Amino acid sequence: MKFFTLPRLLLLFILQFLCWQALAQVVTTVPAFPTADKKVTITFDLTKAKDPRAKNLLGKTSDVYLWSGAGTTANGDAFEYQPAGQSTWGAPFEPGKMISLGNDKWQITLVPRVYFGVPAGTPIRKLGLLLKNGNGTAQTEDIIIAVYEDELKVSFQQPEQEFFFAAPNSTMQVEAVASEAAELRLLHDGVEVRRVLGSEKLSHTIRTGPDRGLRHRVTIEAIKAGESASDTFEYMIKPVVPVAALPAGMVDGINYINEAEVVLVLYAPHKEHVYVIGEFNDWQPTQEHLMRRTPDGNRYWLRLHSLPIREEVAFQYLVDGAVAVADPYTEKILDPWNDQFLGDANYPNLKPYPEGASGIVSVLQTEQQAYSWHVEDFERPATDQLVIYELLLRDFVATRNYKTLTDTLSYFKRLGINAIQLMPVMEFSGNESWGYNPIFYFTPDKAYGTEEDLKAFIDAAHKAGIAVILDVVLNQADFEFPYVKLYWDENNNRPAANNPYFNPVATHPYNVFFDFNHDSPATKALVQRVTQYWLQEYKVDGFRFDLSKGFTQKNSGDDVGAWSAYDADRVATWKRIYDEIRSIDETAYVILEHFADNAEEKELANYGMLFWGNANHDFRQLGKGTNANPQWLSYQVRGWEQPHVIGYLESHDEERFMYDVKQNGKATSSYSTRKQSTALNRAKLAAAFALAIPGPKMIWQFGELGYDIGIDEHGRTGNKPLRWTYQNDPERAKLFQVYAELIKLKTSQPAFATKDFTLDLDNIVKRITLDGADMDVFLIGNFDVQQQLPQANFPNAGTWYDYFTGDELVITESNKEILLEPGEFRLFTTQKLEGPATNLLPWSRIILAADDQLAAGQSIKVYPNPAPGTANLYFESAYRGPVQLQVLDVTGRILYRHTLNKTQEVLQGQVPLQKAANGLYYLQVTAGNERHVQKLVKVSE
């Protein structure tokens, strides 16, 4: 899942919606039309602040300060100029000290140009304001107020809206204020109904008529000395909504009937009336586009006729005359805030945002050209052979689009993975995101390309034998999701109590945006539609569900332990969702980011679901040289019946293995994990053990190249630098190839999916044994930062082959000691396999203690043995050159090191043991690429 800095991002889009409303409710000014060069008194009423952080300002009588700025353009930064000395958020700003009026009202008087230091001649168009306490731990939302030219102005103070619906035969209070005394005229549908002379204010009561569905205009005019100014609002009488049953076969969203006709259906219980507004009616509610209500009161529908064939048409739903939203089921949106930053590399030929619209709009298009699929019968990889590559498109290719990702499939083929998991691509807030802030669930985000581009990528991946899994976020939604906005509690800044989809307050920890209620029938229907749509329309191969543990109505508050405990309601929810998905596609993958009690995961795994298995911490510890046990990657250790743990040593939520090892790893005088070449070799070791444990696996993007940029670079969810140049580094290329070889074994050799396996992972030297029907596999590795001489403990005697070197080893005693350098691992098989390229690993010849498998013409003797003081070495071979002698104790610690020069057939030398304690030692003889080890016992003289 995605973690955010909660206070700012949670409110970002809420505040876009509320900041101008907050002006009338939170802030008042005297005069009503402040100018740049005259005093203005600004009064805050904190009881009306919208930001939850403002609650800690209530009840104060001191320690409240203005934090503010001035902007020189209507659409630019409201904090462009700031008062001198306003720089430290966490400290009081004395010039902005507010005066308490009591009852949570605060006031300050200032001259904008002087206070903000705006040069003479530079216009001031607006002020950005908020109140905070001295140390900045409590604050209001940002509030923007306009600054006016010093000229005649007039404005309605009541009503506050520019357009609204009114009840028939009712009254409304109208109040208007001018910037100076003038002649004020109030007109209702062009007819003067009130006039006052020489006044700054006008009040009047207007009576509405019975004419439902008609639009009325009210205008205030101010006239003085040849100058005039005006302001206008409009209202409609609430309509009588026709009631009619939903036509047969229609579902929520856009139903295409023929080349020029659609039926729009909106689920909107508890709402009074809904109009369809769009390009076909200039974004104004009309009687023709008033939607019918179904007899149960839950849905509204409308048949649109005579639509332009094959042309995109933008529209919204105007609900109760107050909130305009796009269709929740739309397959494309237009966004006035973010589309302007998209270019042809993102979404070519994008329809311009329509004039007259406001906010996100939905798009319909009749007679759309269907994508022509090349692969209709893709056979998905078996679960136990699944190797998933998780990627964030934004941080994976420079163009950030599906077309380039499609062109990159050859990279994945070389690596050998058989599934790609895309981090969320459904429409999210903004263009820069991990995607865990969704706002439309049937719409691919345009930042990554067109709908056809996404389908073409999935099609090409299938052709390459690679499944595509979508990361989906149905635990939460962001503010612009229509069902958040339609049922919103403005007083508490959260979903309303009658929201049919969302909990007003999340039932669990780690919630970021707005929490779905998965016991709600509406949410159940939405989840079913979302999963069915992507399986059928885009032919995805399954889903990874973000924060699946959050699909619960059992309220655990902030107690993570209680949240993680077995939850029967959550189990039932997931079984229902799984059954719905499998009823549509019987082989689709259902992957949960769960991390709940093992009893719950076991039950759901045995039911058929897959689970993320996080071994990041254990492998980072091991990479750094500290012992840890990653056995939880094993489904058998968990007591599960099926291999449904997707094990990984990195994911988007975790710190990078290479970064942590290089920053924090252990070192000795001769070996440091922080050295890049060493860290890369330890990454090979970690990959070998992570991938060898039977069960599906996942790789996080560029882990196969040793990506070593920390997760907090540019902020946790910020853009990370591309490092495709890593491929040009020979050592990183070797890591890639080791990954490729391990993946090839996992996906092609049945032994790597065996149910008969043994894990020996407790100690710093670790072993995995895979007992296959036709071939056994034995993996041993040293995670220490020192040499180790453990017993090899081969599963059985016989002939073994070192996969990465091709060396043949005849084992007569399976418990022989083996010398392992720091970070060294050996992968043995009982069958000779086609091996990889040479020198992928830095280790030389396998060294077994008391190794009697010397080549013809070679001989090593050590005598006397046991030795009381000095042992003699006799070494016969054709080798010429330096020979290194090392004496190691049973822990791998080097006690003696000496180099001799071998210039003839026989080399003889002495090995001093006088200073060694009595006991067992190992003499290591290294001659070129060959190493030999002999046991050596020291006894008393």
| Cα 41 versus chain centre, distance | 45
Q: Is the pLDDT of residue 391 over 50?
A: yes
Q: Does any domain span residue 534?
A: yes
845 inside domain: no
pLDDT at position 4 over 60: no
Rounded Cα distance, 912 and 887, in Å:
9
- The C-alpha atoms of residue 839 and residue 834 are separated, in whole angstroms, by 15
Domain that holds residue 621: 386-746
pLDDT reported for residue 855: 57
Give CA–CA dist 890/409, Å, rounded.
49
- 62-107 pLDDT, tens digit each: 999 999 999 999 889 999 999 999 999 999 999 999 999 999 999 9
Contact 440, 448 (CB under 8 A): no
Q: At residue 24, does pLDDT exceed 50?
A: no
Looking at the structure, do residues 791 and 756 belong to the same domain, yes or no? yes
Distance of alpha carbon 619 from alpha carbon 624, whole angstroms: 8
Residue 609 lies in a domain: yes
3-state secondary structure at position 643? coil
Alpha carbon of residue 99 to chain centroid: 44
Per-chain mean pLDDT for the chain: 93
Question: What is the structure's pLDDT at 1?
Answer: 52
- Give per-residue pLDDT as tens, 594-651: 999 999 999 999 999 999 999 999 999 999 999 999 999 999 999 999 999 999 999 9
Q: Are residues 502 and 405 in the same domain?
A: yes
Q: What is the pLDDT of residue 708?
A: 97
* Those residues with Cβ within 8 angstroms of residue 446's Cβ, 6 or more apart along the chain or in another chain: 332, 339, 342, 346, 347, 350, 427
Beta pairing partners, 222: 184, 229
Cα(69)–Cα(66) distance, integer angstroms? 10
Q: Indicate the pLDDT class of residue 473, thresholds 50, 70 and 90.
A: very high
Dihedral sign for Cα atoms in the order 275, 281, 287, 289: negative
- Asked if 683 and 734 sit in the same domain, the reply is yes
Instruction: Give per-residue pLDDT as tens, 100-142.
Output: 999 999 999 999 999 999 999 999 999 999 999 999 999 999 9
Residues 613, 762 within the same domain? no
Least confident piece of the model among 297-301, 798-802, 919-923: 919-923
Q: Which residue has the higher pLDDT, 370 or 810?
A: 370
* Rg, Å, the chain Cα set: 36
In a domain, 426, yes or no: yes
Q: Do 539 and 480 have their domain in common?
A: yes
Least-confidence region, from 80-89, 300-309, 790-799 = 790-799
pLDDT of residue 492: 87
Are the C-beta atoms of 101 and 109 separated by less than 8 Å? no
The pLDDT tens digits of the residues spanning 671-727 come to: 999 999 999 999 999 999 999 999 999 999 999 999 999 999 999 999 999 999 999
The CATH number covering residue 223 comes to 2.60.40.10
When pLDDT is averaged across residues 180-189 and rounded to a whole number, the result is: 96
Q: Per this entry, what is the length of the chain?
A: 941
For range 827-853, the mean pLDDT:
82
Q: Is residue 242 part of a domain?
A: no
- DSSP 8-class letter at 54: G
The predicted model gives 338-348 an average pLDDT of 93
Please tell me whether residues 353 and 405 are part of one structural domain. no
For the chain, what percent of residues have pLDDT higher than 90?
Answer: 83
pLDDT tens per residue across span 562-576:
999 999 999 999 999
Rounded average pLDDT over 798-824: 88
**Same domain membership, residue 661 and residue 517:** yes
Confidence class for position 814, pLDDT limits 50, 70, 90:
low
Distance, CA of 194 to CA of 218 (rounded, Å)? 11
Using one digit for the tens of pLDDT, what is the confidence trace for 867-878? 888 999 988 888
Q: Residue 857: what pLDDT?
A: 64
Q: Confirm whether 375 is domain-assigned.
A: no
- Give the residue with greater pLDDT, 349 vs 23: 349
Count of domains for the chain: 6
Residue 848 lies in a domain: no
User: 627 with 737, same domain?
Assistant: yes
State the CB neighbour count (10 A cutoff) for residue 891: 11
Asked whether residue 2 carries a pLDDT value surpassing 60, the answer given is no
Final residue of a structural domain among 101, 117, 146: 146
- pLDDT at residue 863, rounded to an integer: 84
Top pLDDT among 403 and 889 is at 403
H or E element that contains 746: helix 730-748
The answer to whether residue 930 sits within a structural domain is yes
pLDDT above 90 (res 388):
yes
Q: pLDDT digit string (tens) for 310-337?
A: 999 999 999 999 999 999 999 999 999 9
Are residues 562 and 532 located together in one domain of the fold?
Answer: yes
Q: Which of 146, 171, 201 is at the close of a domain?
A: 146
CA–CA distances in Å: residue 232 to residues 147, 229, 830: 19, 11, 87
Question: What is the rounded average pLDDT of the residues 447-470?
Answer: 98
| pLDDT of 920 over the 90 cut | no
379 pLDDT tier (thresholds 50, 70, 90): very high
* C-alpha span between 100 and 98 (Å, rounded): 6
Residues 392 and 525 in one domain: yes
Residues 181 and 330 in one domain: no
The per-residue pLDDT for range 748-761, each reduced to its tens digit, is 999 999 999 999 99
- Per the DSSP assignment, residues forming a β-bridge with 30 are 41
pLDDT tens digits along 882-915: 999 999 887 777 888 999 999 999 999 999 988 8
CATH number reported for the structural domain that contains residue 932 in this entry = 2.60.40.3080
Instruction: Note whether 220 and 262 are same-domain residues.
Output: no
CATH number for position 470: 3.20.20.80
> In the 8-state DSSP scheme, what is residue 270?
T
DSSP 507-526: SSTT--SEEB-TTSHHHHHH
Give the pLDDT confidence of 209-254 residue by residue, as tens digits.
888 778 899 999 999 998 999 999 999 999 999 999 999 999 999 9
Q: 399 near 441, Cβ under 8 Å?
A: no
Last residue of a domain, one of 146, 168, 187: 146
Q: What is the percentage of the chain residues whose pLDDT exceeds 70?
A: 96
| DSSP one-letter code for 788 | B
Furthest CA-CA distance within the chain: 124
Residue 99, φ and ψ in degrees, nearest 5: -100, 125
Q: What is the pLDDT of residue 19?
A: 38
